[in-house]
Amino acid sequence: VRPRDSWRELAGRYFTPREAACCVDLLSFYHAWVRKEAFLKALGLGLPHGLERFEVSIPPDDPPRLLHIDGDVGAARRWTLHA
């Protein structure tokens, strides 16, 4: 994990409000970023698709999972994330 002073700004800019609020330290930010990036790669899309269009769980409280895709909880349940 590389130190990054701008992680709070990045979370506020690219994550959903709930995700940004759950990123309490650099490690939780990286967990969220990697989960979000992995989902976009699974779709064959890049970051410009929109990291804010879907929401992932943030550790340490939740195991890896999608919470919604464009507000659709059912669509998120069809996917599995692994740490």
What are the pLDDT tens digits along the chain (83 aa)? 777 789 999 999 999 999 999 999 999 999 999 999 999 999 988 777 788 999 999 977 689 999 999 999 999 999 999 88
56, 30 contact by CB (below 8 A): no
- Alpha-carbon distance values, 42 to 21, 30, 60, 71, 83 (Å): 25, 18, 24, 19, 15
Neighbours of 8 (CB within 10 A): 15
**Whole-model pTM?**
0.86
- C-alpha neighbours within 13 Å on the C-beta side of residue 30: 9
Pairwise CA distance, residues 57 & 74, whole Å: 15
